Amino acid sequence: MKLIGLDIDGTLINSRKEISEKTRTTLIKAMKEGHKVVIVTGRPTPGARELADILEFKKYGGLLSTYNGGAITDCKENKTLTSHPMDMKLAREIVAFSKDLDLEIILPYEETIYSRYKGKYAVSEAKNVNMNLEVVENLEDIVNFCPNKILFAQDPDRIDPPIKKLKEKFGEETEQMKSARYFYEVMPKGPSKGKSLLEIAEIFDIDQKDIIAFGDEMNDISMLEMAGVGVAMGNAVPKIKEISDYITLSNDEDGIAYYLEKFVL
């Protein structure tokens, strides 16, 4: 049995934001043959459910690793297997500190995304992950929950100075990384995409060498390094290609299906 970990954007979905029919049927075939397929993403859990439904995870036992490894969901059992949320006090401090930074804040919790104003990135992200957007100007006042991550956004030519301040202030207490040129993720210390795959492998008694991970962006580094085989998409950023064991075709050329048909199925 293989554990097949799939990033979403730039990996599982093509440039039209769709799972191609070839990729879909190949992944379903893999599950029918007994392999475990898991979507591994920085998105909130609600933002990955539609893709899980397209791949028939409820029927074939697929899994979701969301919030960059912060939560793992068994779709067939409709059960959260693990969750690693951020400390509430720390989350409040980060939200309050960010008020004076030149950044949009995007705070997902349960079925809602919270933001201070209806910015272009918050609106786009809420639409992209099929979640409600609620605008709360004094956002720090309503953080009475433990989020799995806090997302910040800004134009690529403006994002570096403010995120440097976040790194300086909270870098030792949190995991922080760019997940796109305009997105910066702040997460609790410890969880990662790679560690979530190891957690799943332990739950289902799968050897680490039998983990295959597909990715394209910098927040995929941990899972590509921890997998038995790390596979970079043909469209991946240079660093991901450097650390990977294999470079497949791009997400517009069914790179996942190409690799699985060649080496697994």
Q: Does the domain formed by 88-188 have CATH 3.30.300.30? A: no
User: How do the domains of the chain map onto residue ranges?
Assistant: 3-84+191-264, 88-188
Residue 208, classed as helix, strand or coil, is: helix
Alpha-carbon dihedral 210, 225, 55, 25, rounded to 10 degrees: -70
137, burial (CB in 10 Å: exposed 0-12, middle 13-18, buried 19+): exposed
10 Å Cβ neighbour count for 260?
A: 24
The tens place of each residue's pLDDT in the chain, 265 residues long, gives 999 999 999 999 999 999 999 999 999 999 999 999 999 998 999 989 999 999 999 999 999 999 999 999 999 999 999 999 999 999 999 999 999 999 999 999 999 999 999 999 999 999 988 899 999 999 999 999 999 999 999 999 999 999 999 999 999 999 998 888 999 999 999 899 999 999 999 999 999 999 999 999 988 999 999 999 999 999 999 999 999 999 999 999 999 999 999 999 9
Instruction: Quote the pLDDT of residue 219.
Output: 87
Domain 3-84+191-264 is of which CATH architecture?
Answer: 3-Layer(aba) Sandwich (3.40)
Whole-number pLDDT of residue 179: 85
Rounded to a whole number of angstroms, the CA Rg of the chain reads: 18
Nearest to 132 by CA among 155, 107, 99, 149: 107
Which residues, in sequence order, are bridge partners of residue 13? 9
